[in-house]
Amino acid sequence: MHDITVALGERSYKIHIGENLAGTLLALADGFVAENRPVAVITCPTLPQLHPSLFSELKKRSRLLIETSVDGEGAKSTRELADIWEKLAEARIDRAGVIFAVGGGVVGDLSGFCAATFLRGISFVQVPTTLLSMVDSSVGGKTGINLPSGKNLVGAFHQPAAVVADMALLSTLPPREFAAGMAEVIKYGMLADASFFEKLEAAGTLTWNSPELPAVVRRCCEIKAKIVAADERETAKENGRALLNLGHTFGHAIEKVAGYGEYLHGEAVAVGCVAAAMLSENLGFAPAGTLAGRAIALFEKNNLPVKLRTPLSLDALVAAGGNDKKVVAGKLRFVLMKKIGEAFTTSAVPASAVRDVWLSLGAK
């Protein structure tokens, strides 16, 4: 097992990374029950059927198990949130309560925001079941839901009490979902670790049971934990936690314009990272030919898109980007790169350059 700590003073917590960690997870639940802290489990409709023994054990330790009404981004809604609040209230989950968020990024974001707001804040444990949530969304305390105007526009910073990343839970993950997680893995190499990026280039195509996967997940979590510890609430005027959004300004725009669910989040991020690499080269922040080509090759090796699958409206994409969370004082901050392993934030990006990149990716 590979344990690391997110260092946030009295709110520090451990990320448990390894294979077959059901015992670790259930021991956490047992500890809360022994302290008379009511446990609630939130998950998506498909997982209890895929992992019946684990959910059977969790149900024995919990006051209620809530399944979202739908799978996917549609569950990150105000309607779903209100329904869960009501169920927690009916089950008399009190301020000592603990939510176990068992699922991918959608379940983690929704459950985390629910925990942050129910009774003005209760504890929760992240149990990511997708590669993307293991390396990214389960760590760092960002929670949120979507609005029609954009993704994650409502949310809160609320750190989990623990994260349990069990590789065994990836055994039922569809290949497309695993590939989507690899987009975030590659992103970490692009923004913070050239050596890690080179190892991914040299490796074969990873799968859920690749022997090196726990170490890959650990390295991503190490990078994120360090950045989060230094800038937990993304208040740094430059760089800081915003660096973790490499590719996301473009990616979120793709998700919104194409319609949530048309692209998996990681697929949109892959295209977004290619866009960021192109923009970095086009504006002279990085030497021509040093970023985009390598990024494209690595994403393609991991079965990820590197341009729009079908043309999307250029004007709609630009407008969606303008509604991104990283807009500060009316200016959109982009995460760009100087080289593989070194990213930075800047608002000095001409609108025409952004439009040119969108056109290169297949916008119309």
pLDDT tens column, 140-168: 999 999 988 888 899 999 999 999 999 99
The stretch 125-142 carries a mean pLDDT of 97
Q: Are 326 and 181 in contact (CB under 8 A)?
A: no
C-alpha dist (Å) from residue 269 to 96, 328, 330: 37, 21, 23
What pLDDT is attached to residue 23? 97
Cα separation, 344 vs 255, in Å, equals: 23
What pLDDT is attached to residue 329? 58
Closest to 360 (Cα-Cα) out of 312, 307, 287, 317: 307
Its CATH class, for the domain covering 175-360, is: mainly alpha
Gyration radius of the chain over CA positions = 20
Opening angle at CA 310, ends 304 and 311, nearest 5:
125
Handedness of CA 240, 243, 112, 30 (dihedral sign): negative
Cα separation, 128 vs 105, in Å, equals: 7
The stretch 77-90 carries a mean pLDDT of 97
Q: Between helices 314-322 and 351-360, what is the axis angle to 10°?
A: 130
The stretch 90-94 carries a mean pLDDT of 98
Closest to 318 (Cα-Cα) out of 246, 250, 247: 250
Query: What are the tokens at 45?
Result: 């409709």
Cα separation, 206 vs 190, in Å, equals: 18
Confidence of residue 27 (pLDDT cuts 50, 70, 90): very high
What pLDDT is attached to residue 330? 66
What pLDDT is attached to residue 216? 96
Cα separation, 326 vs 234, in Å, equals: 10
| Structural domain spans, the chain | 2-172, 175-360
The stretch 238-254 carries a mean pLDDT of 95
The phi, psi pair for 49, rounded to 5°, reads -75, -30
Q: Any residues with CB less than 8 A from the CB of 172 and at least 6 apart, and which?
A: 50, 51
The stretch 71-79 carries a mean pLDDT of 93
Confidence of residue 26 (pLDDT cuts 50, 70, 90): very high
Residues in the chain: 364
Mean pLDDT, rounded, of the chain: 95
Q: Are 55 and 65 in contact (CB under 8 A)?
A: yes
CATH 3.40.50.1970, applies to 2-172: yes
Cα separation, 67 vs 361, in Å, equals: 38
According to DSSP, the residues that pair with 142 across neighbouring strands are 157
Cα separation, 107 vs 113, in Å, equals: 10
The stretch 162-180 carries a mean pLDDT of 97
Alpha helix ranges (H) inside the chain: 22-34, 47-50, 52-61, 78-90, 105-117, 131-132, 175-192, 194-202, 213-230, 248-258, 265-282, 292-301, 314-322, 351-360
Residues 295-352 have pLDDT tens digits of 999 999 999 999 999 999 999 999 998 876 556 656 789 999 999 999 999 999 999 9
According to DSSP, the residues that pair with 31 across neighbouring strands are none
Closest to 121 (Cα-Cα) out of 154, 94, 100, 101: 94
What pLDDT is attached to residue 331? 77
Confidence of residue 63 (pLDDT cuts 50, 70, 90): very high
What pLDDT is attached to residue 328? 60
The stretch 181-190 carries a mean pLDDT of 98
* pTM for the full predicted model: 0.93
Residue type, 343: A
Are 2-172 and 175-360 in the same CATH fold? no
Q: Round to the nearest angstrom and report the end-to-end CA distance of the chain.
A: 48
